[in-house]
Amino acid sequence: MRIAMIGATGLVGRNLWPLLEERHELLVIGRRSSGATREKIGAMETWPGLLQGEKVDVAISTLGSTRKAAGSWAAFEAVDRHAVLAFARAARNAGARHFLLVSSSGANAGSRNAYLRLKGEVEQAVEALGFVRVDVVQPGLLLGERDEKRVGEGIAQTLSPVLNLLLQGPLDRYAGIPAEDVARALAALVEKQAPGIFLHQNRALRALVRR
C-alpha cells in the first residue's frame, strides 16, 4: 500500500516507519529527516502541499507535542491540532481511505482538561473527514527514550512497573506501554480494511501485538 506519515521522528513514529518500509511504499513528511528512504522535508505549513501529486491509500499521524515542549498553547495547538488536521485533509484529497491517529488516553472533546479536550476534538474532526476507516489509538504512558527530556514523564516511566500493578481493570488504559508495542500495533492496523471508526486503548493494542 501507499502510505503517507507524519511524526516519524517521535517516540512511536521512529519505531513505526521501519516496520512500514518493510512491506509498503512509505512517504514520510516532516520538519527533519527520520532516516526513511523516501521523505519530503519542510515547515509544517508546507506539508499539505508536499502531498500534492501523490497517490495515498493510508495516512498515519503519530505527531504529538506538549505545551511545555512547544513553548506556548498556541504553538502546541499548531502541532497537535492544525498540522494534524491539515495533513489529514490533504491525505484525503490524495485518495487516502484509511487514517490512523495516535491520540492520548483520556482524550475527550467534553473534557475540562484543555489537553484532553483538544485531543478529543481532533479525533472528532478526523472522523468527520470522510475516510472509509479511521483507527484512533489512545495509548497510556508511552515507555521509551525520547529525544527531548520530559521530567514528569521520566519520573512516571521510572515508577511505571509499580503504577501498572495499581492500574487494573478500567484504569489499565492509563498504564505504561512500550512505544515499540504501539508501533507494532499500528503496523498491524494498517492491514485492516473493514470500514468504520475504531478506538484502540492499551488492552486492544497489546492484543494486536500478540497476534
Could you read off the pLDDT of 145-183 as tens digits, one per residue? 755 555 555 555 455 554 555 556 667 778 889 999 999
Q: What's the number of CA atoms in the CB half-sphere (13 Å) around residue 29? A: 28
pLDDT per position as a tens digit, 1-13: 999 999 999 999 9
pLDDT at 167: 57
pLDDT at 158: 55
* pLDDT over 70 at 126, yes or no: yes
Between residues 163 and 48, which one has the greater pLDDT? Answer: 48
pLDDT at 152: 53
> Average pLDDT of the chain?
91
pLDDT at 162: 47
pLDDT band of 144, cuts 50, 70, 90:
confident
C-alpha cell at 123: 479525533
Instruction: Give the DSSP letter of residue 80.
Output: I
* pLDDT over 70 at 204, yes or no: yes
pLDDT per position as a tens digit, 65-114: 888 888 999 999 999 999 999 999 999 999 999 999 999 999 999 999 99
Q: Is 190 exposed, middle or buried (0-12, 13-18, 19+ CB in 10 A)?
A: buried
pLDDT, mean of residues 38-45: 97
Cα–Cα distance, 50 to 100 (Å, whole number): 19
pLDDT band of 119, cuts 50, 70, 90:
very high
Q: Degrees (nearest 5) of the Cα angle 192, 4, 51?
A: 140
Total H helices, total E strands in the chain: 9, 9
pLDDT at 84: 98
Q: Are strands 177-178 and 142-143 parallel, antiparallel or unpaired?
A: parallel
Beta strands in 114-168 (DSSP E): 133-137, 142-143
pLDDT at 147: 59
Beta strands in the chain (DSSP E): 2-6, 25-30, 39-41, 58-61, 98-102, 133-137, 142-143, 177-178, 196-200
| Range 2-210: architecture per CATH | 3-Layer(aba) Sandwich (3.40)
Cα–Cα distance, 201 to 182 (Å, whole number): 10
pLDDT, mean of residues 15-44: 97
pLDDT at 67: 85
